[in-house]
Amino acid sequence: MRPGASAALSARRKTEWPTIGLIIVCHCSIVASAALMEHAWPLAFPVLVASLTLYSSLQHEVLHGHPFANRHLNHLLVFPAWGLFVPYLRFQATHLAHHRDANLTDPYDDPESWYLAQRDWARTSWPRQLLLRVNNTLAGRLALGPAISLWAFAARDLAAIRRGDRAIRSAWLVHAGAVVLAAGLLRATGTTPVSAYLLAAYLGMSVLMVRTFAEHQAHVSSRGRSVIIESRGLFALLFLNNNLHAVHHAAPDLPWYALPARYHARRAHYAMLNRGYVLAGYGELFRRYAFRAKEPVPHPFVEGERDLAHRGHEA
């Protein structure tokens, strides 16, 4: 049994009312803020962006097996595709693959890596290199990250569908139905401008990029690749405490509301475990990296596809 699993299983024997309640509130908040866009958009629009950000975080919570033991019931809780862009079933598949910690940050084996192998970087055209360098600053990631991520994600999936991957095709068909459901619910409750909702969905992804920007770093040890950001404010709520990312990777079955207590009970242990990859808060992240790259795009330990000696190293 992996570290933290026994405590997680114990927690999951109880009804996870914080998650259930938050899902209900989030659904209602999205519908209400969208319905109010025409009449009170200065208030409704930021609430809609925040609610869509939170909804993506709740999808992440659900794919890890919360709040119920029945995964089909969990999936129904996040079925309307309020975020529009990413099929939930594809998010589930790629994110669970990302949790193979020995492959974290690997340009080939980690679906959520922003790195390129050194040889691939050398073959990349200079305009694309410039784009990716800008994207490696926090400001660039907020502006460009969602578009770059969605383009690459859709291109990979389209190529897989053309090769005959039925699972990926089915995930997109289910997503189409979930988008239709979301659109129907929004239409039934108001006349939200499509352009405004699309912008809110994009900005919701941008806010998520604040979290994912520093979540992982290239490191010879797989344990040193996941960050701790000691935030207790709005970002911590919107990200469901995933700022304590090293804790989440150490105990991925632990519900979001149990992460802070686990971290603060063993704070020194986690700082040692992740090799000191700790930031005091998101303010520090913005001060350091708003207009400066946190790391280079080419992975420091991956020269090419067969040069993967860093994988699984625990030193």
pTM exceeds 0.75, yes or no: yes
pLDDT tens across 7-22, in order? 444 444 578 999 999 9
102-141: pLDDT as tens digits: 999 999 999 999 999 999 999 999 999 999 999 999 999 9
181 located within any domain = yes
Residues 6 or more apart whose Cβ sits within 8 Å of residue 256: 18, 19, 57, 61, 66, 240, 241, 242
In a domain, 232, yes or no: yes
Give yes or no for residue 284 having a pLDDT over 50: yes
pLDDT at 306: 56
Which pLDDT belongs to residue 15? 83
Sign of the Cα torsion 6, 14, 17, 61 reads positive
* Helix, coil or strand: residue 261: helix
pLDDT at 314 over 80: no
In a domain, 52, yes or no: yes
In this prediction, residue 1 carries a pLDDT of 40
> For residue 304, what pLDDT band results from cuts at 50, 70 and 90?
confident
The predicted structure's pLDDT at residue 275: 94
Q: What is the DSSP string of 162-188?
A: HTT-HHHHHHHHHHHHHHHHHHHHHHH
Asked if residue 299 belongs to a domain, the reply is no
pLDDT in tens, 20-52: 999 999 999 999 999 998 889 999 999 999 999
Q: Whole domain around residue 59: which residue ranges?
A: 5-289
Task: Specify the pLDDT at position 104.
Answer: 96
The domain total for the chain is: 1
Judge whether 116 lies within some domain. Answer: yes
Asked, for residue 115, whether it belongs to a domain, the answer is yes
Q: What is the mean pLDDT of residues 202-221?
A: 97
Residue 306 lies in a domain: no
Over the chain, what is the mean pLDDT? Answer: 92
Residue 254 covered by a domain:
yes
